A and B are shown apart, each in its own frame.
Chain A
Amino acid sequence: SQTIHQWPATLVQPVGSPLSLECTVEGTSNPNLYWYRQAAGRGLQLLFYSVGIGQISSEVPQNLSASRPQDRQFILSSKKLLLSDSGFYLCAWSQGPYQPQHFGDGTRLSIL
């Protein structure tokens, strides 16, 4: 069966520091991969999605970037974190377009 892993589960970072969140999927090949941010009391906001290695689409202008160095690995990065980057970050995968999405357990990011 397929599983998705996200780490770390929680992270506290100072303003201006770099960021790297990692997501990996097991048990499937060539998945679509997604990064979302969930702010308190609000819905999920799609940040990035990828349909293949090295293919990244960004949904909103922001301080973050994403990369997909391997088929089942998706990384969310920042060179300098802002206070507004705080939130709950979720990685998800699907077998293809229009297919159900499956989520990891998320990373709680706090910026001080």
Chain B
Amino acid sequence: KQEVTQIPAALSVPEGENLVLNCSFTDSAIYNLQWFRQDPGKGLTSLLLIQSSQREQTSGRLNASLDKSSGRSTLYIAASQPGDSATYLCAVIDYGQNFVFGPGTRLSVLP
């Protein structure tokens, strides 16, 4: 059974720092991986989706990488801003069309 973990559970950084969020999954047979952002009391906003054949995807200050063989993905946020404060979740999609979510990393960017 696929399990997804995210480290750290919470992170607090000063504004302007570059940071990395980690996502690990136990079964490397995934179809793709999706990163989401969740603001308090809100739904999830899709940030990036990486196909299993891709190594990385970029959108603005965000860059997500995928290493299927090691069961890891990282989300890199450059020049962090207070508006980046949110919970970031990753989810893997396996070949059975199952979405499995990680518990999330709660990010606070301090002005």
A46 within 8 A of B: yes
Q: Is the interface of B mostly helix, strand, loop or mixed?
A: strand
The reply to whether A90 and B44 contact each other, CB–CB distance below 8 Å, is yes
**Count of chain B residues near A, Cβ 8 A:** 22
Count A-side interface residues using an 8 Å CB cutoff.
Answer: 19
In Å, the complex CA distance between A100 and B32 comes to 9
Residue B64, interface by CB 8 Å: no
Q: Does B25 contact A (CB under 8 A)?
A: no
Could you tell me the distance in whole angstroms from the C-beta of A44 to the nearest C-beta in chain B? 4
Contact digits for A9-44, partner B, Cβ 8 Å, 1 yes 0 no: 000000000000000000000000010000001111
Residue numbers of B with Cβ under 8 A of A are 4, 31-32, 34, 36, 41-46, 49, 89, 91, 93, 97-99, 101-104
